[in-house]
Amino acid sequence: MQRSVTAYIDARIDQATSVVFSIAATRGPEFSRERVEYAINGKQIEPLEILDLHGTRLHRFDVPVGRFTAVYEAVVEGKADPAPVDDVDLIRYLRPSRYCESDTLAPTALGEFRGLFGKDLLEAISSWVGSELSYVPGSSAPTDGAVQTLLLRQGVCRDYAHLVIALLRALDVPARLAAVYAPGLSPMDFHAVAEAYVDGAWNVVDATTLAPRESLLRIATGRDAADTAFLTNHGGLLTLDHLEVSAVVDVLPNDDLSVLVPLR
């Protein structure tokens, strides 16, 4: 499998600020090519790369006033090894978090899915969330969590993932969020999916079913969107003017939703 991904970002800096980007694919599969460029007013900036949990690559730097651009390109050959399993992760990803209020949604989870386990539970939650929500671009606010998403019955990929994660955690299944490049996704953008720890491994759950799970390429991993944002800025003023993402694969696989698929 060969996956080619790109991200282009254009922004206006009206007040000097510190930024952190998470747009680079995690290491694991072989990179045959990679380009990472950040620039302000046409002058390149060298970022400090910091490794976060699960190989997430954070690029941190300061930018003065002006026009800012970010360019990322990568060609990845083959697949990564299955995600490692850590005892701390199996505790961390059972707890409620900022956008995944599993404690609040426990009665809903028990009422809908009591008695289901393993792959059957993943299938049931994915199908239920997919049928209960409508995918509506721009329908959710950045501060909306799983509870608000369920009340509104609509959202985008991160909202679907947050609800899946909250329901799984409420049923004592460790679950986390992964930001990914997603060949086959339409409309194309950064994508978010859930990962659930079932049968001794982390497996993808994507209730949107908008892209085949086997083609996904990991960018960032964490408790929820608070850990996986592609851009954060602090102490200044940044206005995002343009974001363009692409992701293609040499052969787009069929997605058999009855099969467990790890993110590789």
* Sequence ranges of the chain with CATH classification 3.10.620.30: 87-227
The answer to whether 40 and 64 have CB atoms below 8 angstroms apart is yes
> In this predicted structure, what is the pLDDT of residue 173?
98
Summary mean pLDDT of the chain: 97
CATH number for 87-227 (one of 3.10.620.30, 3.40.50.620, 1.10.760.10, 3.80.30.20): it is 3.10.620.30
Identify the three-state secondary structure at position 62. Answer: strand
> In this predicted structure, what is the pLDDT of residue 193?
98
Q: How far is CA 25 from CA 73, 145, 237, in A?
A: 9, 25, 27
Residue with tokens 């697949």: 79
**Mean pLDDT value across residues 139-165:** 97
Query: Spelled out in words, what is the top-level CATH class assigned to the domain 2-79+231-248?
Result: mainly beta
Beta strands 191-198 and 231-234 are: unpaired
Prediction pTM value: 0.96
Identify the three-state secondary structure at position 235. Answer: coil
**Mean pLDDT value across residues 175-197:** 97
Q: Please tell me the distance from the alpha carbon of residue 247 to that of residue 21, in angstroms, as a whole number.
A: 18
The answer to whether 3 and 217 have CB atoms below 8 angstroms apart is yes
> In this predicted structure, what is the pLDDT of residue 32?
97
Place 242 in a pLDDT band, splitting at 50, 70 and 90: very high
* Sequence ranges of the chain with CATH classification 2.60.40.2250: 2-79+231-248
